[in-house]
Structure 1
C-alpha cells in the first residue's frame, strides 16, 4: 500500500463515526394513536416479538397492537400502575401496582391476572433479571427493592437502598442498576446475592429518573433534571459524558442497531444522541407533544413510542396542596409514534 493510500485509510477510519452519524435518517412523528380513557400514566414497554406495547394508564395497563395501532385488551382491576416487566419465556408479565403496594402477575396471552406478590411501599420501576429469573420491584417510598422468584412467585429478598429509587435496568449477566433520585447516584446490585455492590455519584446529573443500557459498550444512560444525560461506564462507575437534552425528562432508551440513545422530555421533545463514539453528540431534537416524557423503544423496528394527553386548567393552590396538578381531559390519552 502506498503512503497516500495508507493515509487515506487512516483518515477514513477516523471519520467513520461522523459519516455513520450523518448517514442516520432523522426521526419524525409518523402517527398519533388516540387510545382514550381516563387517568394519568407512567412507563411503557414494547414487546418486539409479540408486536405489542404495554402502557401503564391509571388503574389499568393498555395493551396495543403495534402493527395496527389499536388496543387489543387491557389488564384491569389495578390501583395505580407504574411499570411493566416481561419474562424471557414469553409467558408472563409483571406490573408494579404502586397504589396497592404489590406486583401483579399476568398471562401475556389471555391478559388475565394470575397472581399478586406483596412489595414495599409504592413499587415503581420494575425489571426482569434473566440470569436468576427474578423480578425486581423498586419501592419509591420505602426506599428498597423487592426481589421476586418467578418460579415460586414468592419474595426472596428485600434490599435496602441509599435513597429513593427510580428506573432500573439489567445487564443480562446478573447485575441490576438503578437510579437513586434524591442522592444523584446509581447503585449496582448483584442479583445472586442479592445485595448492593457499588454506589456511583452522577455529579451534576440531578434527580436521575429514566435509565437505558448499552450492554455491548458497557454504558448506562441516565436522564436528569437540568437538561443533562449522564453517560456512565458501568465497569468503572465513572461519568464519561454529559450531553445536553430537553427539559423535564423521565425516560431513556438505547438502540443497539443504530447506537442511538434517546431522552423523552416533558417540554415536548425527543433528544437523540449519537452513542457510536466518545463524543456523544446530540444529532436531533424532535418536537413531539407537551408532557410526552415517558417512552418505549421497539428494538425490532427502531420506532419510539411516547404517551401524552390533554389537560384542563390547573386548580388554585391551597395550603394542603400548594402545587396542584391539572386533571387529564377524558378520552385524550394518545400514543405518539416516532420513526426514521
Structure 2
C-alpha cells in the first residue's frame, strides 16, 4: 500500500474571531492561587478528532501527542511554536523514543508499529502486530519495544533492529500505561481490570511481582519518581504511590470524581498531574509521607492525557472534536 506522508508546518494563533474557554481554577491552594494557569490554546492546523497519549521530549524540546482521531501523530516544536502532523496510516495511541537508534515509534489501533527517523521525522517503515495496540515503551538496554495489547491479556515484545514481533508476556488482565525504570531495569504495567501493578523483568520477559493498587481502582495513569523509587498511579478519582523497593502502598489521596487516563510527574517541583476526563486536572504534591492535593484546575472536558516539561514546568494537554483540535499549555505557579 502506498502511504501518503503529510506534514504541515504552520502555527495558528487564535484571534478574536475564534473563541476559547477561559479556564478558572475549580479549587485553589491554601494561598488562594491556582497551581496552574491556562495559556491560550493553539489550534492544530487542518486537523480534528480526539487525542490519546502525550510525551514531552526534553532532549528535542518537543511535545508529541498521538492523534488517533485524525490518523496522525502531532508534534509541537517548543523552540519556535511550530505544529506539525505526520500520517500514521491509521490510529496510533502509544508513542516512544529510541535515542540511540535515532528512531521514534508509534502504535495503536492500526495494528502496527510505525517507525520514524527521530531527527527528521521521515517515515522509515512499519512492523505488523497481532492485534490492536495501546501503550508502548522502549527498553534501551535490550533494544526491545514493549507493546500492550489493547484490552487483551498480554504484552508483545518487538525487536526493533530486526523489525519483528519476537514473543508475548502473559499478564493478569487488560493493560493500561506501562513504565520503564532504568535504575531497577524493570517494567511496571498497570492492570486496570485487576487493580494491580505487575512488575516485569526484561532479562527474562516474565512477571516477577504483582502489587495491589487498592484503594485506587481501575489504574490507568502511571509515573515514576526514579530518584526516590516511588511509583505513582491514578484511576477513578484517586491516586496512590507504591515504594518499588518493597511493593507496599505508601499513601493514597482522593481528588474527586471522573476517570484518569494519563498522569505526569514533575521531578523539579515534585508535583504529580492527573488528567481527568470530566474537565479538570488534579494537581498533587509529593511529600515525605506520600501525596497531598494542591487543587483541581479546570480543563476541557474530554482532555484525558498530558505531558510536563521538566525544565520550564509547563504542563501540556490536548483535545479535539469533529472540526478542530488543540494543544494547550498550563504554567505552574
Which category of TM-score, normalised to the shorter sequence, fits these structures?
0.7 to 0.9
Count of equivalent residues: 297
Which residue in the other structure is 1:43 paired with? 53
1:329 aligns with 2:284: no
State the 1:90 CA deviation: 7.0
**Which deviations, in whole Å up to 9, do the C-alpha atoms of 1:78-120 show, x marking residues without a partner?**
211101100133711110132x212111112222221222334
Is 2:273 the counterpart of 1:280? no
Instruction: Provide the rounded CA distance (Å) in 2 between the counterparts of 1:129 and 1:25.
Output: 37
Judge conservation of contact 1:260–1:276 (CA < 8 Å) in 2: no
CA offsets 1:273-302 (integer angstroms, 9 cap, x no match) = 111321411123222222211101122221
Task: Please name the residue that 1:63 is paired with.
Answer: 75
Kindly indicate whether residue 140 of structure 2 is the aligned counterpart of residue 130 of structure 1: yes
Root-mean-square deviation over aligned CA pairs: 2.0
> Aligned runs of 1:310-325 on 2, under 5 Å?
none
Larger helix fraction of residues:
1
Bigger RCO of structures 1 and 2 (CA < 8 A, at least 6 apart): 2
Question: TM-score of the superposition, structure 2-length normalised?
Answer: 0.84
State the match for 1:9 in structure 2: none
SS of the residue corresponding to residue 104 of structure 2 reads: strand
Query: For residue 26 of structure 1, what is the aligned residue in structure 2?
Result: 35
Q: Please state how far the C-alpha of 1:131 moved relative to its aligned partner.
A: 2.4
Deviates more, 1:174-183 or 1:300-309: 300-309
- Evaluate the alpha carbon distance shift between residue 158 and residue 47 of structure 1 in structure 2; reply closer, same or farther with a 3 A threshold: same
In structure 1, runs of 5+ residues without a counterpart are: 1-20, 310-327
- Conserved in 2, the CA contact under 8 Å of 1:46 and 1:297? yes
Does the 8 A contact of 1:120 with 1:144 survive in 2?
no
Give, in whole Å, the separation in 1 of the partners of 2:125 and 2:255: 40
Q: CA deviation at 1:239?
A: 1.6
Equivalence map 1:39-118=2 (5 Å): 39-58=49-68, 59-71=71-83, 73-89=84-100, 91-98=102-109, 100-118=110-128
**In 2 relative to 1, CA 202–120 (structure 1 residues): closer, same or farther, beyond 3 Å?**
farther
Aligned equivalents of 1:306 and 1:90: distance in 2?
Answer: 28
Q: Is 1:263–2:274 an aligned residue pair?
A: yes
Measure how far apart 1:154 and its partner are.
2.7
Partner Cα distance (2:230, 2:290) in 1: 14
Structure 2's unaligned 5+ residue stretches are 1-29
Change (3 A) 1:152 1:109: same
C-alpha distance in structure 2 between counterparts of 1:141 and 1:102, whole Å = 16
Report the Cα distance in structure 1 between the residues aligned to 2:266 and 2:125, rounded to whole angstroms. Answer: 33
**Distance in 2 separating the partners of 1:66 and 1:90:** 23
Q: Deviations over 1:49-75 (max 9, x none)?
A: 21211111121101111234331x332
Return closer, same or farther for 1:120/1:161 CA change in 2, 3 Å cut-off.
farther
Aligned to 1:241: 251
Contact 1:296 1:306 (8 Å CA) reproduced: yes
Q: Give the match for residue 339 of structure 1.
A: 331
Q: Paired residue for 2:166, among 129, 144, 156? A: 156
Normalising by structure 1, we get a TM-score of: 0.82
Where does residue 23 of structure 2 map in the other structure? Answer: none
- Contact 2:135-2:176 within 8 A present in 1 as well: yes
Change (3 A) 1:92 1:283: same
What is the distance in 2 between the residues matched to 1:142 and 1:248? 20
